[in-house]
Amino acid sequence: MWNTFIQTPEITKPISTIVSGIASDTLYYNIGNGWQALSHTSFEEPNIYHYQLPVIPKSKTINYYFAATDNSANHNRSILTDTINGYFSFKILPTDGVSILFATPGNKPGYQDYQNKEYPKYLAALNAAGVSYDIYNWAEFPTYRFPDSYKTIIAYSNNSGSNGIQDTLSVALMDFMDSGTEANPKNVFMASDQLANMQNGQPNASPVKKLFTAYFRGGYNPVTNPPSCGGSDGIGGPDSFGYNYGSMIGLGGSPIGQQDVEIPVYSDSPDVIYNSTCPEWYADEVSNPDISSWGSFVFNAGPFNGDAYSKGQGCGIWLDNLIYKSFFLSFDISQFTSDNDINNTISQALDWFFVPEMTLTESSLTPIRQILHCRAWL
């Protein structure tokens, strides 16, 4: 199990049965005051056992393992546990005093990040920033709400398909941003290769479309040849499929990235996006709809005589909506070829979000609002 916001978690475990059947089954758990035994609270055919835990305080880590004995003459006993620690673990979130949530779609078989490309990059960047953070797998739970105690969410999605778990994440992020105030704004950093492309063509009722266009204030157009203002691969375009080496370059006035400084990438499908105000059909449903996002990065180098297919078009946008700040990048951060660039991007985001756990250096306090009156691109 992954960490959860649910204080009365239920653990479900399939237990393989044999001819003799199961004589007894036990979940052993420990929340810091010794191991306790719990029998299954319900059972469903053919072999699914449910264990209902009592109310667990927030911030507590639950260690647990299973044991079962069969009905044979030998009373064979089997224990299921983690081979490294001797038990499995998860935590009841939020952790006291932690204001940052790292929202991942999981790095195990069957999850979006099953190749485990993004997860370790984010962990390394957050650890390098010296901040405390909680980890939550948004693809693990059918419904959830991000607690108000968090100030900042660092999220990613690397699934190009529209589905229920993507919608649930979008709703949770929008609710989180809506919970901000001018005195206590919320913050969201999100990197997602193909999310912009995926929301394109969805109806206005689509939560993913609303998140991207109304909350991040991003625009997207289908790919054109020659390129103009949109596309599903800003580096290689439709003329060079697959992964390509290239780069994006920072724009002036952005709180993340530096003007004219390149970040090299190796990518296959980063969306071409542009900054925008809120679409009129969402205007009555959001705060400050007339505030526009701003450009942060544009495509630069690529396979066409050294240029990207959509050179000069956008791939990063930022927004200060007074009640929340948001940054959206159309690259997965694992597509950066330098870990230093990944670490710097996350560090700059946390600086902009004024994360209290960070030790701000003189360089990180460089003014970031000096060109707010100039739009990077239209």
Phi, then psi, of 92 in degrees rounded to 5 = -90, 115
**Cα–Cα distance for residue pair 299/249, rounded to 1 Å:** 6
* Whether residue 283 has pLDDT greater than 60: yes
Range picked from 100-109, 157-166, 181-190, 361-370 for highest mean pLDDT = 181-190
More confident residue, 94 or 113: 94
Residues 212-264: pLDDT tens digits? 999 999 999 765 555 555 567 899 988 888 899 999 999 999 999 999 999 99
**Cα–Cα distance for residue pair 249/35, rounded to 1 Å:** 54
Range 163-189 average pLDDT: 96
Both tokens of 300, joined, read 């630069």
The half-sphere exposure of 353 on its side-chain side, counting CA atoms within 13 A, is: 28
pLDDT at 241: 82
Global confidence as pTM: 0.89
Query: Which burial class, exposed, middle or buried, applies to 13 when counting CB atoms under 10 A from its CB (0-12, 13-18, 19+)?
Result: middle
Mean of all residue pLDDT scores within the chain? 88
Residues 317-367: pLDDT tens digits? 999 999 999 999 999 999 999 999 999 999 999 999 997 654 443 333 333
Range 274-297 average pLDDT: 97
pLDDT at 239: 84
**Cα–Cα distance for residue pair 247/251, rounded to 1 Å:** 13
Lowest mean pLDDT among 78-82, 102-106, 144-148, 293-297: 78-82
Residues 91-110: pLDDT tens digits? 999 999 999 999 999 988 77
Q: Which amino acid is present at 51?
A: Y
**With contact defined as beta carbons under 8 Å apart, do 317 and 254 qualify?**
no
Both tokens of 218, joined, read 């991003």
* Whether residue 374 has pLDDT greater than 50: no
Residues 336-347: pLDDT tens digits? 999 999 999 999
Residues of the chain above pLDDT 90, percent: 70
